[in-house]
């Protein structure tokens, strides 16, 4: 064979080898994607007075991820969650987000909690072009302007508050007191609520801020008594909800108390601590009852609970389970060599997607997910009834 032909053949072989290397999964792997795993990051509140919210949400996410991993993962890769505690502090959320993206090299972010914390994290995620999936945040402002990297699963707080206000209009509670968490979360949702009340011609008797770390609400109870309101709407999360309910009931206030979905996270524990005072509190629920197996998604959740050693079983855990299922379906549709942009396109391509009698909807201009909201009432043991 001529030397020139040999050289050409060698050059061709080298080019083929190079092309094969460039097209191999390892060469094209996105950040956070290895041959055996997809790494996902979470910064949430795992300590302090609102810790139940983050811990229960993470538990649900991990429950679904574990279920998927036991079945072989997604396209042969296990789902690996790296979760960091931000203790409800937006500054720590920002630091954690930098750590997750720059050091842990995550593929995507999931399960952040709280309005101010999401505000702190989103610019960092956007700058790095990292998807932010299913924050436990329903604040209206995040949905008013489309964000390419932010995907919701839960219904918005506007959906929840609208449902509460509709109920008040129907039963004729024309004077309403509002107690709101003294934070970005509380103030922004107060701004959402007031026009809804006005539209239904309901009178706002008083609006009162309450500190996250408050251990007494006797002064607030006095203001509510003076306002003579027929209903009280709480916009808050964590242990402060129990403080307010305790002191309103102790003051003999007979007004019906309404709360949004994040108000009472540990209902069983709250019922015990409140010694029956949780009875009659009405909550907006953004997922079905975690005991109601007529929903296929709940049946799947219950089977996963039974097959695991999970100790947390409540609405927030079910919400995390649902969020993780939507995330996993998007990752599966992104293919064997997933990229962040491919994942975004895959979620947008879900359209109207049924997870099992629980539906979400996405599209290129719609990242809002679910609009499911029901009102339920707590009994003295912390169970919800309709």
Spell out the domains of the chain, with CATH numbers in brackets: 37-155+293-369 (3.40.50.2300), 158-285 (3.40.50.2300)
The pLDDT assigned to 4 comes to 44
Start-end of H helices in 218-334: 218-227, 239-250, 267-273, 296-306, 315-333
The pLDDT assigned to 28 comes to 56
The pLDDT assigned to 5 comes to 46
Q: Could you report the per-residue pLDDT of 86-129, keeping only the tens digit for each?
A: 999 999 999 999 999 999 999 999 999 999 999 999 999 999 99
The pLDDT assigned to 25 comes to 44
Q: Could you give the CA distance from residue 82 to residue 337 in angstroms, rounded to a whole number?
A: 21
Tokens linked to 128 = 């790095």
Tokens linked to 33 = 């994607």
Q: Could you give the CA distance from residue 154 to residue 180 in angstroms, rounded to a whole number?
A: 21
Could you tell me whether strands 108-110 and 37-44 are parallel, antiparallel, or unpaired per DSSP bridges?
parallel
| Closest by CA position to 85, among listed 62, 40, 60, 55 | 55
Instruction: Give pLDDT < 70 ranges for the chain.
Output: 1-28
């Amino acid at each position: 064979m001529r030397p020139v032909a040999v050289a050409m053949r060698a050059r061709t072989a080298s080019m083929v080898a190079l092309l094969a290397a460039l097209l191999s999964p390892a060469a094209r792997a996105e950040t956070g994607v290895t041959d055996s795993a997809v790494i996902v990051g979470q910064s949430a509140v795992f300590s302090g007075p609102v810790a139940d919210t983050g811990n229960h949400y993470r538990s649900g996410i991990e429950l679904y991820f574990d279920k998927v991993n036991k079945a072989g993962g997604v396209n042969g890769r296990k789902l690996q969650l790296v979760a960091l505690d931000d203790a409800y502090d937006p500054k720590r959320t920002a630091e954690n987000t930098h750590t997750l993206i720059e050091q842990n090299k995550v593929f995507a972010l999931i399960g952040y909690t709280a309005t101010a914390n999401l505000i702190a994290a989103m610019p960092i995620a956007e700058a790095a072009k990292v998807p932010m999936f299913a924050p436990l945040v329903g604040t209206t402002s995040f949905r008013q302007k489309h964000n390419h990297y932010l995907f919701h699963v839960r219904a918005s707080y506007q959906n929840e508050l609208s449902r509460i206000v509709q109920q008040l209009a129907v039963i004729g509670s024309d004077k309403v007191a509002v107690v709101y968490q003294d934070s970005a979360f509380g103030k922004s949702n107060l701004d959402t609520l007031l026009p809804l009340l006005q539209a239904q011609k309901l009178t706002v008797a008083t609006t009162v801020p309450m500190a996250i770390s408050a251990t007494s609400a006797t002064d607030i109870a006095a203001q509510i008594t003076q306002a003579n309101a027929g209903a009280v709407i709480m916009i808050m999360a964590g242990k402060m909800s129990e403080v307010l309910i305790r002191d309103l009931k102790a003051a003999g206030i007979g007004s019906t108390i309404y709360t949004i979905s994040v108000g009472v996270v540990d209902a069983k524990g709250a019922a015990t601590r409140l010694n029956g005072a949780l009875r009659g509190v009405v909550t907006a629920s953004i997922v079905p009852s975690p005991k109601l197996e007529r929903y296929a998604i709940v049946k799947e959740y219950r089977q996963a609970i039974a097959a695991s050693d999970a100790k947390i079983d409540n609405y927030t855990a079910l919400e995390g389970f649902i969020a993780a299922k939507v995330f996993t379906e998007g990752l599966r549709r992104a293919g064997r060599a997933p990229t962040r942009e491919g994942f975004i396109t895959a979620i947008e391509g879900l359209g109207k997607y049924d997870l099992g009698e629980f539906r979400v909807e996405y599209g290129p201009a719609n990242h809002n997910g679910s609009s499911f909201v029901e009102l339920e009432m707590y009994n003295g043991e912390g169970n919800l009834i309709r």
